[in-house]
Amino acid sequence: MSQLDLKVILEALQKVLPQEQSCIGLHEPYFIGNEWVYVKECLDTRWVSSVGKFVDNFESSLAKYTGVNRAVAVVNGTAALHICLQLIGVKAGDEVLIPSLTFVATANAVSYCGAIPHFIDSEETTLGIDPKKLGNYLDSIAEIKSEGCCNRKTGRFIKAIIAVHTFGHPVDLDALYQVCEHFQLTLIEDAAESLGSFYKGRHTGNWGKVTALSFNGNKIITTGGGGAILTQDDSLANLAKHMTTTAKLPHRWAFNHDQVSYNYRLPNINAAIGCAQLENLPEILSAKRALAEKYAQIFQQIYGIKFFTEPDYAHSNYWLNTLLLNEDYAAQRNDLLELTNNYGIMTRPAWTLMHKLPMYKDFPRMNLEVAESLESRIINIPSSAFLV
């Protein structure tokens, strides 16, 4: 069997990446604007904690940028997903469809609700859920009853789908939305990786009833740690705010709470960084696109491996740049990881698929052959905005 020349791939990466850095990370934050100024204002005014003007500004700027009606800032993306699931009424014993190819937070959030993640295959052109394969699968296992979509195999209700925009590339939202309508499922978008990514000209996060964002340190913009819930629905946004702020009833001095809920607030000092980062987002996006274009160009000439580019309908943020080995060379993936990391270029495989993790191995799932193939061939490569 023929082998890929891994040296050629290493040299291609070296040609794109800056030479002066001895170690290049996968995705590092980029602070070029008002971060210091806004953080200093928090410290000077002592408004560092659970409320403040930066929280309000960050929420309204996020809503404006993404084109949704409301944004509610929270402590991280996992908390955003946890609340999203509760907002749409996911209860213990319900099933929630999620791709097996995702970060573990998607599955964990479902588990926090006592619900059951049910693993779905992905497609190679988007790296996200394959709507057609999903529709066929649901035709074979689901039955629409008056209360909703029932899994005939388990007897449980399937309530929702969480669509993940993998590495920032939008899933086929229109097609997926149709599947949701047909099977009476609520769509949630896990847009943790897709701030700045557009589907047919509209920002991701506009198809889900509710959407989760993340501002972890490795995401396209960061607040240190943070997240947000997006929705068009004012009453859901108000409920999200209530549930993430201990369900305290407004009063000048009394502490009354009307339900068991969460302290999932994003502190003002983190939101301050978020406000500055959001001002720089257009610049970050264009730098990242320029880097992706360099990669695309150089890897066009290299046999046996391809640089993943945005689907036709999308304008992606290129959050994490991705190489896909041809199937014939998947066996060389670890050697390539070893070689590039030895040369100070950080590369990483895809996450281990959810259904292979010990705590999720016995959960319901469809045929996952595409996700399994992708998992064996994906390599993420350095993607920071300042590398260009």
Ligand X SMILES: *Cc1c(COP(=O)(O)O)cnc(C)c1O
C-beta of 131: minimal distance to ligand X in Å?
18
How many CB atoms are closer than 10 A to CB 46?
Answer: 9
Q: Tell me if 329 sits within 8 A of 8, measured CB to CB.
A: no
C-beta of 381: minimal distance to ligand X in Å?
17
Q: Out of 190, 197, 268, 340, name the contact with ligand X by CB under 6 A.
A: 190
Q: Binding mask 153-182 vs ligand X (x if CB under 6 A, - otherwise)?
A: -----------x------------------
C-beta of 224: minimal distance to ligand X in Å?
10
How many CB atoms are closer than 10 A to CB 373?
Answer: 15
- Give the dihedral of Cα atoms 140, 351, 27, 17; nearest 10 deg: -100
Q: Out of 227, 274, 311, 382, name the contact with ligand X by CB under 6 A.
A: 227
Q: Binding mask 93-122 vs ligand X (x if CB under 6 A, - otherwise)?
A: ---------xx-xx----------------
Q: Tell me if 134 sits within 8 A of 179, measured CB to CB.
A: yes
Q: Out of 95, 121, 189, 193, name the contact with ligand X by CB under 6 A.
A: 193
Taking alpha carbons only, the member of 82, 29, 59 closest to residue 230 is 59
How many residues belong to the site for ligand X (CB under 6 A)? 14
Q: Out of 192, 271, 374, 387, name the contact with ligand X by CB under 6 A.
A: 192
Residue nearest to ligand X (CB): 77
Q: Which is nearer to ligand X, 199 or 329 (CB)?
A: 199
Q: Which is nearer to ligand X, 9 or 127 (CB)?
A: 127
* Residues contacting residue 80 through CB under 8 Å, at least 6 positions apart: 74, 192, 212, 213, 214, 227, 228, 229
Q: What 3-state DSSP class applies to 63?
A: helix
C-beta of 206: minimal distance to ligand X in Å?
18
Q: Tell me if 99 sits within 8 A of 164, measured CB to CB.
A: yes
Q: 210: part of which helix (H) or strand (E)? A: strand 210-214
CB-based burial of residue 68 (10 Å sphere; 0-12 exposed, 13-18 middle, 19+ buried)?
A: buried
Q: Which of residues 65-84 bind ligand X (CB under 6 A)?
A: 76-78
Q: Which is nearer to ligand X, 16 or 269 (CB)?
A: 269
Q: Which is nearer to ligand X, 42 or 163 (CB)?
A: 163
Buried/exposed 223-238: b ≥16 CB within 10 Å, e otherwise:
bebbbbbbbbeeebbe
C-beta of 297: minimal distance to ligand X in Å?
27
Q: Which is nearer to ligand X, 99 or 311 (CB)?
A: 99
C-beta of 337: minimal distance to ligand X in Å?
20
Q: Which is nearer to ligand X, 151 or 380 (CB)?
A: 380
Strand pairing category for 116-120 and 95-99:
parallel
Buried/exposed 286-308: b ≥16 CB within 10 Å, e otherwise:
ebbbebbebbbebbeebebbbbb
Residues that bind ligand X (CB under 6 A): 76-78, 102-103, 105-106, 164, 190, 192-193, 214, 216, 227
